[in-house]
Structure 1
Amino acid sequence: MTSQELRFSLAERTPQGIKSTGDSGESVSIQDEKKVKSILDTIHNTKVEDHHGKTDWILLGYSGPDLKSLKLLGHGSGGLSELRSQPFPEDSVAYALLRVVDKIDDVMTTRFNYITWVGEKVNAVMNARIGVKKTAVTRVIGHYSVETLVSNKSELSDENILGRVQDASGSRSKVKEYKPPSKPQSTSPGGTDSTVFSYVPKGQGDQLRVQDDQAARDVIKSVRHGTGGLNWAMLTYSSPSCLVLSAKGTRGLSEVRSALRDNEPAYVFLSMDQTVDSTTMRRFIYIRWIPDGLPNLKKGKLTPHRGFVEDWLAPYHLNINAVNSEDISDKAVSEKLDVLKG
């Protein structure tokens, strides 16, 4: 695999047909389908050396309140600053895909940030339906490196959007122990040796917490260091606004699959070893488990929690959005990790 082929870490999904059905059976269609598909192909397939001057972002929104059809709101080659200048709807939802160039071990590579915009004036009914439609929309968007949830223009800052790409890139030798910063810090452009940002979607920070926060963080720290053979830990909901560290173990991915429930969302932090050029590397994986069997209304209520959980568990090399055990089979996870080898 060449350095240019290392374009995405597998939270990513390969592009599917432009009409896509979500896990709930609901689907979305695309207005001006050929044009949208062409733009997405350009964003995904432009090589790093051809990045400048080529289309690097697209913005899609719903054509009506029924959320059945997406339309093109804009596209361009001016990067994040141009995307940020677009008229994002305050009372609706929009989806953007942004291609950026990142520097990983002194090699330039293309990365993709999948941005979900939930306007601050979105009503409760629409907010609940976002999660129902999300899988279908994600299949339209195609593969991506990181996903970011935002609700206002201030959250479309370079620090938030580009910084998240750099944080997710990681490297074999520069994965840091997570220490919550007292305030947001800057990231050097193009580097991966960066501080993790504390990002919580506006209005959500006081609605979700982790019970016995420091004790739970200590368990995650033990997973990072392999203390006592510990290699995974799981957060589940003790109430709609509180997470609890409910399980941990030493037997890896198979034990994680046994601990997950078909009717209960969970967030897993997993450590796995990977051999790269005869050297064993420790990889950290974040699994967001939102099972198929979960009621659609409950799925929708979980969407605003994504930013909080991502940052609480950061940093990690790989993000997997799983809806069934096949998404986290040994083979599936191994294939995802292989992309990180470079």
Structure 2
Amino acid sequence: MVNLVDKEKLLDSIKQVRDDHSNVNWVVLGHQDDSPENLHLVGLGSNGLEEMKNSFSDEKVQYGLLRVTTKVDLSETVKFVYIYNLGSNVKFMLKGRIGVVKGEIQKYFQPWHVAFEIETSSEISEQDIERKVKEAAGTFDNVKNTDYIIGRQERGYTTHSQNKEKEKNSKSTFETKTNTIPNSTVNKNPQVSKQATGVKFGDSLIQCIQEVRDDKSDTIWMVGSYENDDIKNPVVLVGSGKGGYKEFSEFFKPESLSYVFLRVIDKVDGNATRKFVLVNWVGENVSMMKKAKVSTNKGEVNEKFSPFHVDFTISEKKEINDDIILAKVQAYSGSKSFVKEKSYF
């Protein structure tokens, strides 16, 4: 249970950021005395990202909300950016302890349009945010550019907020055929791409990522896991298919760390747009130490799957389904009226 230090002031600060008539356009919260249970106000201001970055510390775990204005289809729209600062100098054990309450804290910032995870303030810029917002709104077409990375790419944010109006006019299309990779194939000396970084990826996994990106391919999802559930081993392909959540969730094991890459077709007012989704599965039986160690791989993992539009980090199957995935895709392309819907205030 998270305790909000000076709760009224803290919640009012978030309210001000969400108020279009307020000069305050950013707020940063953090853990008082590095206590996972105590959340306090670190700073707020009215001069945008560059001012906000002064409140981020490499020694702290912090949470920020930023209001920006951008043009989408010639209309001025308000967008909200969630920034999770996992300071580069924060110790592994503290990361693990704070990670337990991260989901509870994020609820105070929902909904948002785009999210970033950083380890130092230099990893995010106004250009990064502008580009990401345009991608989310479908006005920036670079989803085939697999060399593009946004800083230390955004990681794992789950929201159940839904755009009701868009849901009425939207649907996702999932076929029903699974291509399961037998264990004997997965675990028997898979070929691995040569890389200078710490994480290795099987050649078949890399090829399957491209299949998911290919509109002409029937494969719309793939699952990769650490070989033999050992994070020192490569991430290898364990399955792919043409259906949706019901199929790929079969690969979610309590003792495993897995990555799902998914292509979704979102139809809004008759216009079809493709979106890419990354799901990080962290099994409930994975040890805290293992979770802390694998967190150092996230930058490289996200780079391999980049670019994608939205992502999730989950530990239970019930946390997502096809509807929740589509709802988050819609939220990232949401209207100004939608983002003003709040249940917390």
* TM-score normalised according to structure 1 size: 0.73
**1:149/1:307 contact within 8 Å kept:** no
The one of 179, 199, 212 equivalent to 2:146 is 179
> For each residue in 1:66-112, what CA deviation from the matched residue of structure 2 results, as whole angstroms up to 9, or x when unmatched?
322011111011110111223x3343322212222233333332222
Does the 8 A contact of 1:252 with 1:272 survive in 2?
A: no
* Match of residue 4, structure 2, among 16, 22, 30: 30
Could you say if the C-alpha distance between residues 172 and 266 of structure 1 is closer, same or farther in structure 2, counting changes exceeding 3 Å? farther
Q: How many Å apart are 1:198 and its aligned residue?
A: 5.3
Q: Residue type matched to 2:199 in 1?
A: R
Q: Is 1:258 aligned with 2:250?
A: yes
What's 2:290 paired with? Answer: 298
Deviation at 1:341, TM superposition (A): 7.0
Which residue is 1:219 aligned to?
208
Gapped regions of structure 2 (runs ≥ 5): 154-194, 336-345
- What is the rounded CA distance, in whole Å, between the counterparts of 1:259 and 1:77 in structure 2? 46
Q: In 1, distance between residues paired with 2:137 and 2:319? A: 22
**Larger CA deviation: 287-296 vs 259-268:** 287-296
Change (3 A) 1:324 1:33: same
Is the alpha carbon distance of 1:122 and 1:337 closer, same or farther for their aligned partners in structure 2, counting shifts above 3 Å?
closer
Unaligned runs of 5+ in 1: 1-26, 181-195
CA shift for structure 1 position 170: 4.8
* Aligned equivalents of 2:96, 2:301: Cα separation in 1: 19
Does the C-alpha gap of structure 1 residues 212 and 289 become closer, same or farther in structure 2, counting only changes over 3 Å?
closer
Equivalent in the alignment of 1:116: 84
Question: Aligned partner of 1:38: which letter?
Answer: D
Q: Structure 2 matches for 1:244-323, cutoff 5 A?
A: 244-323=236-315
d(CA) in 1 for partners of 2:121 and 2:326? 37
Contact 1:199 1:311 in 2 (8 A): no
- In 2, the alpha carbon distance for the partners of 1:117 and 1:327 equals 23
Which amino acid in the other structure matches residue 314 of structure 2? A
Q: What is aligned with 2:231?
A: 240
Count of equivalent residues: 290
* Counterpart position of 1:40: 14
**Counterpart pick for 2:65 among 97, 104, 107:** 97
TM-score (norm 2): 0.73
Contact 2:205 2:237 in 1 (8 A): yes
Counterpart AA for 2:201: Q
Question: Counterpart in 2 of 1:68?
Answer: 37
C-alpha RMSD of the superposition: 2.9
**Alpha-carbon distance, 1:269 to partner:** 1.1
Tell me the distance in 1 between the aligned counterparts of 2:113 and 2:334. 15
Tell me how far apart the structure 1 counterparts of residues 113 and 296 of structure 2 sit (CA, whole Å): 19
